Structure 1
Amino acid sequence: MKGPVPRSALILTAAGVLPFLWGVLTLLSDSAYQLAFTTIGGRFVGPYVQLAYGTVILAFMSGVLWGFATKAHPRQAPVCYALSVIPALWAFFMAGGGPVSAGMNLIFGFLGLLALDWQFWRWGLAPRWWMHLRLPVTAAVVACLLVGVLV
């Protein structure tokens, strides 16, 4: 896990955690919930924002892994491409149902994504700094989703 994370990647990743944090805030604060519900709607409060956004992000991260797969040796590439679509398929098939089961499935999806991140990094397909970025952001996302599951 060598090298500093580029500033732009760090800032954009931190911004990407904001919808998960917003979901936590609206779960824990009745006034934040009411303000958001009345001004921007029910899709943007509590677990609903976390589940919708988490599904989008898992699909997005499949695209990131696909990009890493393009760097693979031709004999390794088919495995990398196949692995890269797993997060999107997981989100599509497992993020439905009620907020608790969908939240738990997203947690497992993000933990599985972290394992794929590590593998692509280990193979030298991800940037050297990749795991410095992915470990803390995954911890933050999982913690936020846990609040949505437990509250």
Structure 2
Amino acid sequence: MKDIPRSALILGLAGVLPFAWGALTYLHGPLGIWTTQTIGPRYTGPFVQLLYGAVILAFMSGVLWGFATKVEGRRAGVAYALSVIPALWAFVAAGGGPVVASGNLIAGYLGLLLLDWQFWRWGLAPQWWMKLRVLLTVLVVLCLSVTLLL
């Protein structure tokens, strides 16, 4: 993890907090009740995970789009087309109830990791990119698995 810029690592881990919060409020009833009463039900359990999960997939489409700007010609067209997949996936896969949507988001994040790898393999992402993306993907998938499996 030494290769990852400290700010990218800290901000990336901070981005996992809503997923972790959703898992914690799902697993610990009193925390979920407190959250519901204090800031609203939208910030508990699967609700926060699913909303935030879709937002982050869309955000990551923007990141990949930024990587796509580094190439020209046919590969640029392919890169731009691949970059919109996470946002489109979030749009169509986030419905169907919390269990189905959690499974769909897990699939979306695993698919995103494959896209990250491809952009990295093409030399469009920084050298440290995959170390960060694997770490964050594992954490997000673990958090979403709480809703999927329990």
**TM-score, structure 2 as length reference:** 0.97
Q: 1 CA distance for matches of 2:30 and 2:41?
A: 14
Q: 2 CA distance for matches of 1:3 and 1:90?
A: 32
Q: 2 CA distance for matches of 1:122 and 1:142?
A: 23
Secondary structure of the residue that 1:71 maps to in structure 2?
A: coil
Contact 1:3 1:129 in 2 (8 A): no
Contact 1:107 1:145 in 2 (8 A): yes
2:127 matched to 1:110? no
**Which consecutive unaligned segments of at least 5 residues does structure 1 have?**
none
Which residue does the alignment assign to 1:26? 25
Post-superposition Cα deviations, 1:55-105, rounded to whole Å, max 9, x if no partner, equal: 000000000000000012323100000000000000001111100111100
Contact 1:17 1:137 in 2 (8 A): yes
State the one-letter code of the partner of 1:117: D
State the one-letter code of the partner of 1:68: F
Secondary structure of the residue that 2:95 maps to in structure 1?
A: coil
- Alignment coverage as a number of residue pairs: 150
Contact 1:62 1:85 in 2 (8 A): yes
Which residue does the alignment assign to 2:37? 38
Secondary structure of the residue that 1:145 maps to in structure 2?
A: helix
2:101 matched to 1:98? no
Contact 1:20 1:49 in 2 (8 A): yes
State the one-letter code of the partner of 1:140: L
State the one-letter code of the partner of 1:131: M
Contact 1:3 1:128 in 2 (8 A): no
Which residue does the alignment assign to 2:129? 130
Which residue does the alignment assign to 2:46? 47
Q: 1 CA distance for matches of 2:144 and 2:21?
A: 11
Runs of 4+ residues deviating >3 angstroms: none
Backbone CA RMSD of aligned residues = 1.2
**TM-score, structure 1 as length reference:** 0.97
Which residue does the alignment assign to 1:71? 70
Contact 1:5 1:133 in 2 (8 A): yes
